[in-house]
Amino acid sequence: MRFIHASDLHIDSPLRGLDRYEGAPVERLRNATRSAFERLVDLALAERVDFLLLAGDIYDRDWQDFHTGLFFRGQMVRLERSAIRCFIVQGNHDAQGVISRQLTLPANVTVFSSRSAQTIRLDDLSVAIHGRSFPEREVNEDLVPSYPPPVQGCFNIGLLHTSLTGRAGHDTYAPTDLPTLVAKGYDYWALGHVHAREVLNERPRIVFCGNLQGRHAKETGAKGCELVTVEAGRIEAEFIALDVVRWSQLPVPLDGVDRLELLDEAFARALEPVLAGTTDRLHAVRVTLTGSTELHRLEAEQPGTLAAAMYAAAQDIGTAEIWIEQVRLDLSTPLDRAQAAQRQDAVGELVRLVDTIAGDDAELMRRAQVELGDLLGAMPAEVTAGDVPRLDDPAELRSLLMDAEATVLARLSASGEDA
């Protein structure tokens, strides 16, 4: 017996703000969730699996029109023509109270009730699948106690959308814990809601398969599904990557790199492990330039120079398609701060001021709120939906402060002060 466990498709997730990125592959990014799901169905057909499990959040929100639902239904019809069944629990994004438009799904698809937990028996496979959908977006109770007991003589699968005891970046829904899942007596728990793949237990096997397609720079790495084979009660599982766009956050160390023409080599070296075996997809990369380099002074004199150099370096990568989503700077100019702080000139005064502010997190956040709070509050929603400075993150504010120092030092140097 073979099955696929997938979750968190978020079909037609809106991906706002892409238009502000010059040269962004907007349509490919917006269609990525559909393309990844088509790959999932292709895999199910190629592997001739017996059934597909979807552990919630098929959709990202209520349909804007019927095209989203028709796309999903069309993929279910492809499975039906090969006699592959599909079992679904609805999660917080696609709960019955969220999705207002409806389409009748083909007969091979079963959506578990939200009123109470159900058991679906597949007697031809000696399998029992237990599940319960979300009635509304917010489900605060532990659903596991309501799930039926395991069916004797069957391979028992629990299909559940849950935050467990909580995961960073995810709202707490249908909370439960690992001992509760283990005690239920099922053989496999197919979990959804958490977008990072996580194998929580082997006997019984309890797995967050993660989402099918990363949607932004915080959803990094390979995304896909679990392909599970069960023989005589023994489970063999394989993660299959299905994402068509692979998101990465890439630090590029520039310590000792003092010439602009050396950036190509530094970028290619940092990118090499990211591309290993994955040159068949678009790579969306957020680059952070790190380290102590004289190039920081050049950037301060000519803002945008290093970002442009990174975009050019990406164009020169011939083995894969690269789109740089953003270039961030976490750089410092080589400077003996202790010596500079002793100087009785503008340079010394600046370094002493920066050290004082940067050394006190509370003072740093207070000054940022005074100087930036009103400005950020006045920004339109489409701007603040992107990456803006977090006024409660001392590390991020300290990086901004050091960039400002480098800019001032560069201007002092240009005006005759020796920085």
User: What CATH number does the domain containing 102 carry?
Assistant: 3.60.21.10
pLDDT band for 410, please (50, 70, 90 cuts). low
How far apart, in whole angstroms, are the C-alpha atoms of residue 11 and residue 7? 11
Residues 234 and 255 in one domain: no
Arithmetic mean of pLDDT, 120-139: 96
Residues 255 and 341 in one domain: no
Higher confidence at residue 190 or residue 397? 190
Residues 226 and 249 in one domain: no
How far apart, in whole angstroms, are the C-alpha atoms of residue 212 and residue 190? 14
Residues 408 and 354 in one domain: yes
pLDDT band for 389, please (50, 70, 90 cuts). low
Residues 53 and 127 in one domain: yes
Distances (CA, A) of 89 to 69, 135, 200, 282: 16, 10, 20, 31
Residues 231 and 254 in one domain: no
Last residue of a domain, one of 241, 264, 284: 241
Residues 286 and 322 in one domain: yes
Nearest to 214 by CA among 301, 304, 283, 128: 283
**Structural domain range at position 354:** 335-419
The whole model's pTM is what? 0.85
Least confident of 5-19, 73-87, 203-217, 358-372: 358-372
- Judge whether residue 43 has pLDDT over 50: yes
Residues 217 and 93 in one domain: yes
Instruction: Note the pLDDT tens digit of each residue in 293-324.
Output: 989 889 988 999 999 999 999 999 999 999 99
Supply the DSSP string of 350-396, one letter for each residue.
Answer: HHHHHHHHHT-HHHHHHHHHHHHHHHHHHS-HHHHTS----TT-HHH
Last residue of a domain, one of 241, 274, 301: 241
Residues 157 and 117 in one domain: yes
- Domains in the chain: how many in total? 3
Residues 252 and 355 in one domain: no
- The position carrying tokens 């292709």 is 42
pLDDT, position 358 = 80
Residues 279 and 313 in one domain: yes
- Judge whether residue 75 has pLDDT over 50: yes
Last residue of a domain, one of 331, 361, 378: 331
- Answer yes or no: are the C-beta atoms of 103 and 66 closer than 8 Å: yes
Residues 153 and 64 in one domain: yes
